[in-house]
Amino acid sequence: MKKFILTSFALLGFATVNAQNNQVTLNVKLKPIQTLLVNPAQKEVDLLYTTAADYSGGVSSTQADHLTVYSTGGFEVKVKSGDANIVNGSKNIAANTITITASNGSNNSITGATYTPISLSNNDQVIATSATGGVNKNINVTYAGAGADTYVNNYIAGQTPTTYTTTLTYTILAK
């Protein structure tokens, strides 16, 4: 029996186990993502002048959590008007008589953001910047129309109210 076992080992030999190294390179590739949403309930903003005090002092409308930002890193938010002059018939209002001021949102605001008030223009202007990104961060926006009786001669008889309309475009860019 001993001969049989020894013979079996001799015939089979000792198997050599070789460990194999198989390597995989794993890459995590992050591309910038920025989304900017306007609160759907605030797609139309009115600056309503109804009294002499409104014409002399100006009016404003603050839209809480007006913009929502998702950004994978630093970003800037810009705004521009579709027109340099907002026209109704033969009369117009200069877009730059309207001020836009961004601020921290009422809910889930952006930590460390910088906000810059601007006079509306048909050129992109930065209203908010942040060195860091965030998920669904909110920005309040206040729209303010001129005072000092700037619009006193812009009412058109027979139109109640006389309405001047422009489209604002907000954009977000990676920074």
The band of 1, judged by pLDDT with boundaries at 50, 70 and 90, is: low
What gap in Å lies between CA 68 and CA 139, rounded to an integer? Answer: 6
Residue 18 confidence (pLDDT): 78
What gap in Å lies between CA 34 and CA 135, rounded to an integer? Answer: 10
Taking 70 as the threshold, does the pLDDT of residue 5 lie above it?
no
Residue 6 confidence (pLDDT): 47
Residue 19 confidence (pLDDT): 82
pTM for the structure as a whole: 0.86
What pLDDT, in 10s, does the model give residues 80-118? Answer: 999 999 999 999 999 999 999 999 999 999 999 999 999
Give the helix, strand, coil percentages of the chain, each rounded to 5. 15, 40, 50
Amino acid found at 32: P
Taking 70 as the threshold, does the pLDDT of residue 162 lie above it?
yes
Q: Is beta strand 34-38 parallel, antiparallel or unpaired with respect to 85-88?
A: unpaired
Taking 80 as the threshold, does the pLDDT of residue 10 lie above it?
no
HEC-encoded secondary structure of 44-66: CCCCCCCCHHHHHHCCEEEEEEE
**Structure tokens that stand for 157 in this block:** 């008889």
**Structure tokens that stand for 30 in this block:** 């992050």
What gap in Å lies between CA 136 and CA 112, rounded to an integer? Answer: 15
Residue 147 confidence (pLDDT): 98
